Structure 1
């Protein structure tokens, strides 16, 4: 998966993400699209929005 991806309005972008819990962590992990500065991206969504690890 690229470190960065760009999509314009109406486009669909697909990528894979692997989450490996460390230190015995178990629980829900929320996935939120943000800019490089940490600002939430409006009009963009991830599916699923959270996963259990």
Structure 2
């Protein structure tokens, strides 16, 4: 999976999904609790499925 900045088209991250793992949440919290009004928690994320490879050729 490739994470791309919607505005700039910059590739932010390349991820590989391990199909042998269960990625569903268990309901248990991990790590410290965050403040609810933290500005970093309100970043907008949009997921778009792609039907073809749009990586730059080089």
Where relative contact order (Cα < 8 A, 6+ residues apart) is larger, the structure is 1
Structure number with greater Rg is: 2
Instruction: Kindly indicate which of the two structures has a greater share of residues assigned to helix.
Output: 2
Task: Indicate whether the TM-score tops 0.5.
Answer: no
Q: TM-score range by the shorter chain?
A: under 0.3
TM-score by length of 1: 0.23
